[in-house]
Each structure stands twice: as structure tokens, then as C-alpha cells.
Amino acid sequence: QVQLVESGGGLVQAGGSLRLSCACAVSRRTFGDYAMGWFRQAPGKEREFVAAIDRLGVRREYVDSVKGRFTISRDNIKNTLYLEMNSLKPEDMAVYYCAAKFVSYVGITTRLYDYWGQGTQVTVSS
């Protein structure tokens, strides 16, 4: 069983920064056994992929719209996933979710992830 809890969302002006965290509680396995991802969903839109990272924190992948601005990382000792977001734009405004799957790497496909957090709201004012 995996429980994911996101935090760090809030209101920020365009051009500002936020750091999202996803605390992971795992039973019978370890956080380092899971590939992780960040997704977001804006009102009236489908949930979309933002970034993914393999279980060791080596392989990373981003949607084109956030490349060079967002950085995904993980701390397998602290059981936490991060998303550093810089140069935020109004179009980044959404609820951000972290997701996990017991595999080395998943990538961009939403339906392949097995566990999801409840989300944290990111609001960007122009």
C-alpha cells in the first residue's frame, strides 16, 4: 500500500517560484522501489503529464511546456518527491498530483500509475 500527500502549493505571481513536495508512506516495500511522476489538471481540462523520474532518480522526463523551468527530484532517504517550479506562468495554474508505480520507470502515460495523491493547488496571478 502507498499513500501520497502533496504539499507546497499556493498563490504566486507570474515569474515566481514554488517547490512542491510529495511525502510517500509505503508498506512492505520502500519508496525507492517506485517510479514517480507529477501531473496537473486545470479546470475543464484533462489531467496531463508534467514530469517523471525513475526509482533511482537518474532518468527524468518533462512535458515540453515546462522544460528548463521545472525540475523533478527525489530523496529516497526522506521518502519524498519534489517538483521545483521556476518562472511560473498563468498557464501553469492547476491542481498538481504526484503518482507512483512499483516499477523502475513509467514516464508520461497517466493510466499506468497505480497510486495518486489528493493534489495541491497552484495558482499563478498575472
Helix (H) or strand (E) holding 88: none
What pLDDT is attached to residue 79? 97
Q: What is the pLDDT of residue 36?
A: 97
- The maximal CA–CA distance of the chain, rounded, in angstroms, is 45
Q: Per the structure block, which three cell numbers stand in for 12?
A: 504566486
Q: Residue 34's pLDDT is what?
A: 96
| pLDDT value at residue 109 | 87
Give the per-residue pLDDT at 1: 87
| 97/108 Cα distance (integer angstroms) | 13
- Give dist(CA 44, CA 54) in Å, integer: 30
Regions of the chain short of the pLDDT cut 50: none
Give the pLDDT score at 10.
97
CB atoms near residue 30 (< 10 Å): 11
Q: How high is the pLDDT of residue 111?
A: 87
